[in-house]
């Protein structure tokens, strides 16, 4: 049911997603717009690359919180709108809020609609929707990153892990969650198109997770 509360929550979710943590932190503390350096994306990975670990970790945590908080706005719009907490309608509304937040990250109104790739915000959304699947995605991401040292490859593998785990391991009965997982795969492939091209050419930048910085 469409109501003032549900529409307001969707708008708020977009505004949460639009918080350009990478841009604001870079400009406030380093005098740098990260979108002008590295990959040109306003996300955690490019912040790690351009500004270092401290700024990168801060941006990553904020971006995760954006997705998690926006998705959980479903708890505050009233059971009269979503139905019981674990109903299909409730999960659908959570997914809608999370997707809107991710779109806010990709096209942030507070930063000229030039955002990042949305991986951390997507992860925050997955955390809110299915904790076990989210933790499995983290495990896959870390294994790929440690073994191959490619953040992009880890992100892609983690993205595909979500729908596969939902279908074959956790066997979620909510079809919309499964469909959302498949949409994640498509979104990641689209936003990482250049990364995939560089991976195939052997030109993608590697990251040493345990390298000490000066």
Q: What is the pLDDT of residues 131-175, one digit of tens each?
A: 999 999 999 999 999 999 999 999 999 999 999 999 999 988 788
The last residue of a domain, from among 129, 155, 182:
129
Distance CA 13, CA 98 (A): 7
Is residue 98 included in any domain, yes or no? yes
Q: Is the pLDDT of residue 177 over 80?
A: yes
Residues 111, 169 within the same domain: no
Which pLDDT band, with edges at 50, 70 and 90, does 2 fall under? low
Q: Which residues of 132-147 are buried (b: 16+ CB within 10 A; e: fewer)?
A: ebbebbbebbeebbee
What is the three-class DSSP state of 98?
A: helix
Residues 105, 160 within the same domain: no
Residues 103, 136 within the same domain: no
Residues 139, 121 within the same domain: no
Write out the residue range of the structural domain in which residue 74 sits.
1-129
Is residue 214 included in any domain, yes or no? no
Cα angle 187, 55, 131 (rounded to 5 degrees) comes to: 45
Residues 61, 116 within the same domain: yes
In the chain, % of residues over pLDDT 70: 92
Q: What is the pLDDT of residues 59-104, one digit of tens each?
A: 999 999 999 999 999 888 755 455 566 678 888 889 999 999 999 9
Residues 115, 136 within the same domain: no
Residues 124, 168 within the same domain: no
The last residue of a domain, from among 104, 129, 154:
129
Cα angle 11, 17, 34 (rounded to 5 degrees) comes to: 145
Residues in contact with 15: Cβ distance below 8 Å, sequence separation at least 6, in sequence order = 104, 109
Is residue 183 included in any domain, yes or no? yes
Is the alpha carbon torsion for 46, 52, 58, 61 positive or negative?
A: positive
Q: What is the pTM of this model?
A: 0.89
Structural domain total, the chain = 2
Task: Kindly give the interhelix angle for 44-51 and 119-129, rounded to the nearest 10 degrees.
Answer: 130
What is the three-class DSSP state of 6?
A: helix
């Amino acid at each position: 049911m469409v109501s003032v509360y549900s529409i307001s929550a969707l708008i708020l979710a977009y505004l949460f997603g639009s918080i350009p943590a990478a841009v604001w932190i870079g400009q406030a503390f380093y005098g740098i717009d990260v979108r002008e350096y590295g990959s040109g994306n306003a996300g955690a990975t490019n912040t790690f690359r351009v500004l270092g670990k401290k700024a990168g970790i801060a941006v990553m945590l904020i971006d995760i919180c954006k997705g998690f908080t926006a998705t959980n706005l479903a708890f505050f719009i009233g059971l009269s709108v979503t139905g019981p907490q674990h109903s299909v309608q409730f999960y659908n509304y959570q997914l809608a809020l999370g997707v809107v937040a991710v779109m806010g990250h990709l096209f942030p109104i507070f930063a000229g609609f030039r955002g990042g790739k949305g991986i951390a915000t997507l992860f925050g959304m997955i955390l809110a929707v299915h904790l076990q699947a989210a933790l499995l995605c983290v495990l896959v991401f870390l294994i790929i990153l440690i073994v191959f040292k490619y953040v992009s490859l880890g992100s892609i593998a983690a993205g595909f892990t979500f729908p596969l785990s939902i279908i074959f391991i956790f066997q979620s009965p909510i079809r919309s969650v499964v469909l959302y997982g498949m949409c994640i795969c498509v979104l990641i492939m689209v936003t990482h198109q250049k990364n995939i091209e560089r991976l195939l050419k052997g030109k993608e930048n590697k990251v040493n997770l345990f390298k000490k910085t000066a």
